[in-house]
Structure 1
């Protein structure tokens, strides 16, 4: 993957290691209660794009765990 700022759905799914179907479903549902929030996206005409910095911020919001029994906050 190159260093472009706007990623396609395929590139974004690879970047965050989630499926394309997850991204599609998340766009359709939005941010519903008790669900993982959807990553932000932009529309350019009919094209859906994900900004790399938005995906980084989206990933950073999740708490890091050393193992399932212990939560550890970093940063």
Structure 2
């Protein structure tokens, strides 16, 4: 995927998540950054990749990224 902006379905597929998971996180202010273009929600692939990197952990009890 080398599109600059991904819609919610594409972003969910890219992350291996359900669309509803991304929607719920967005409502709570969790998850990756997104862009509002009018009524449309879009995700930049670079933001998805950065969010993935921020989630890297050494163990399951929290702590700092690897």
Q: CA deviation at 1:27?
A: 0.9
The structure richer in helix per residue is 2
- Per the alignment, residue 3 of structure 1 pairs with 2
Tell whether 2:45 aligns with 1:38: no
Q: CA RMSD in A?
A: 1.8
Higher gyration radius (CA): 1
* Corresponding residue pairs, total: 62
Structure 2: gaps spanning 5 or more residues: none
2:13 and 2:44 map into 1 onto residues whose CA distance is: 13
Q: Which runs of 4+ in 1 moved over 6 A?
A: none
5+ residue gaps, structure 1:
31-36
1:50 aligns with 2:47: no
